[in-house]
Amino acid sequence: MGTILITPRSLTRERHPAFSRIEDAGHEIVTSTPGVQPSEEELLELVPAVDGYLAGVEKISAKVLEAAKNLKVIGRNGVGIDNIDLEAAKRLTIKVCPTPGSNAQGVAELTIALMFSLARWIPFSSSELKAGDWSRRKGTELTGKTLGVIGCGNIGKRVAAAGAVLGMQVLGYDMYPDGSFSPSGFSWSSLEGILSGSDFVTLHCPSGNKPLIDSAAVSSMKKGAFLINTARAALVDEQAVITGLDSGRLAGYGVDVFDPEPPEDFTLAGHEKVIPTPHIGGFTKESVDRATVGAIEQILENIDG
């Protein structure tokens, strides 16, 4: 019998039906503090006894991995694994298994929802009216506008296809473009072309060593453009975005990802031109189900052979 650690907040808060697969296979389940992203200190207390680890977005450092003497596999209930020290995992022969595509539809739909919310300032209108104030901000229509999609993988393709259906001209950029992807209204572009020519820019790519959207990128964007980030906080220089919002270069920012989470500094999240959400892109019943089942299958396969 092995021990499986489960840490995603959506799974520690409420038991998922797929947990029975772990128990039916004869393994024990342990969880981190319910509903709370575990700290490194908590992980160091939990990992020494575990054989498998169903992980969320918490940072998994080399120190944590080195303390996990029996750990064989980390199953991620999502696609991003940049929170894990992959070099240490490889050195320690710990297999890291994401669940690609599991949350793609949920994140894509949130991206479109943020685009509509920015275009029509729906949260502002709702909160003002609830407060008894008949205040309005003039919106903009999406049809005929240009949508720039940076990163055209599972999520970006869905966003691009939805934008085309809405009557938008869609530009896509990817380091490894899929030539077979060519919906009506879509064309491939350079990164510079997207930034300078799009009314809405949305990010769906991995983060690198430095922010993709920095001061230079913001300055090169079309005046009055909207930016959306449902991918990774590290893709964006927050101060550059704030400066862009204050100057009018950016008309608004929709964001679902922060570092840390929840944010300690609410300057960006509290800005009047920002629509923030608390990392809910993959937080739908369907996405959680797909990601949980996929991660558990990966863990059991690697533990039980």
Name the helix (H) or strand (E) containing 296: helix 285-304
Examine the domain organization and report whether 198 and 169 are in the same domain.
yes
Instruction: Clarify whether residues 89 and 134 are in a common domain.
Output: no
Quick check: bond before 98 cis, omega within 30?
Answer: no
For residues 152 and 300, state if they share a domain. no
| Model pTM score | 0.91
Q: Quote the number of domains for the chain.
A: 2
Put the strands of the sheet holding 186-188 in their side by side order.
186-188, 169-173, 146-150, 200-203, 225-229, 250-255, 274-276
Taking the C-alpha atoms of residue 245 and residue 195, their distance in angstroms, rounded to an integer, is 15
Q: To which H or E segment does residue 31 belong?
A: strand 28-31
CATH of residue 183? 3.40.50.720
Q: Is the same domain home to 243 and 300?
A: no
Are 192 and 298 found together in one domain? no
Residues 55-94 pLDDT 10s: 998 999 999 999 999 999 999 998 889 899 999 999 999 9
223 and 266 both lie in a single domain: yes
- pLDDT, tens only, 262-281: 999 999 999 999 999 999 99
* Whether residues 81 and 126 fall in one domain: no
Task: List, by residue number, the catalytic residues.
Answer: 232, 261, 279
81 and 148 both lie in a single domain: no
Q: What percent of the chain has pLDDT over 70?
A: 100
- Its domain, for residue 242, covers 104-276
Task: Dump pLDDT digits (tens) for 166-186.
Answer: 999 999 999 999 999 999 999
Token pair, residue 89, equals 């995992």
Residue 233 C-alpha from the chain's centroid: 8
Can you give the pLDDT at residue 82? Answer: 87
